[in-house]
Amino acid sequence: MTGLLTVIFLTGCKAPPDPRRTNFKVEGPGVVVQYDDKTGRMKKVDIDQDKNGRFDTWSYWDATRLIRIEIDKDEDGRVERWEHFDEQRKLTKIGSSSRDDAIEDTWTYPDEQGFLARVETDSDRDGNIDKRETFVPAPEPQGRVLSVVELGLDKAGQPSQRLYYRPDGSFDRAETLRP
C-alpha cells in the first residue's frame, strides 16, 4: 500500500495542470489524475493496478491529503474495500460490504501498532452500528484474539448484551445489560 501511495503522490502532486491543455485531467498509462476545476487541487486518482486496461482503484484527495481509497479487487464494477485516512495519512479504518453489494456496512479499526483492534457492523444498514467486536493481544506475539462482542447497540452505542471470551479464544460468559 505504501508503494501505491507513493505512486499516487508523485503522479498527482506536481504543479496543477494548465486547464487550457488538460481540462484539469492528466492521463497516463494506467492512471488518471483529476483536479478540481475551481481550485486546481488534486481530487481523484484512478489506477489500473493489474494493468489490464480497467480501473480497479480510486483514491480521493484534497490536494495532498489522502481521504479515502476504494478498491474493486474482482473488477465486477462493485467496490469491495474502502480505506479511510486521517489528516496525517494514517489509516483509520477499513470498510467492507458484508453482502458483497458495494454498500459499506462493516468497519475494521487498527490499533496504534496497526493490528486489529475492533470490528463494527451495521447489519440492518439503518445507519447505526449494532454489533461491536473488540480484539486484544493474543498470548503469542503479534496476534490478536476476540475479547468482547457487544450486541444490540442503541443509537448512543450502548449494548443490550455482551459476550466475553477467554485469552485462548474460547467463550467465557454472556451478560445482559438491558432487555
**pLDDT digit of tens for each residue in the chain (179 aa)?**
555 554 555 555 556 555 445 568 888 899 999 998 888 889 999 999 999 999 999 999 999 999 999 999 989 989 999 999 999 999 999 999 999 899 999 999 999 888 999 999 999 999 999 999 999 998 877 789 999 999 999 988 999 999 999 988 899 999 999 87
Q: What is the DSSP secondary structure assignment for residue 10, as one 8-state letter?
A: H
> b/e per residue, 94-124, with b = 16+ CB within 10 A?
bbbbeeeeeebbbbbbeeeeeebbbbbbbee
* Sign, CA torsion 14/58/47/83: positive
Nearest to 84 by CA among 98, 102, 100, 104: 104
CB 161 within 8 A of CB 153: no
Nearest to 121 by CA among 166, 159, 171, 176: 159
Sole residue written with cell 449494548: 159
Backbone angles phi and psi of 92, in degrees to 5: -105, -30
Residue 12 to residues 18, 22, 136, Cα–Cα distance (Å): 14, 13, 38
Look-up: residue for cell 484512478?
46
Dist CA 3 CA 7 (whole Å): 6
Residue position matching grid coordinates 458495494: 102
What is the residue whose three cell numbers read 475479547?
A: 147
| Partners of 61 in the β-ladder | 66
Question: Which cell numbers hold the place of 63?
Answer: 490536494
Neighbours of 22 (CB within 10 A): 14
Helix, strand, or coil (residue 19):
helix
> What is the pTM (predicted TM-score) of this model?
0.80
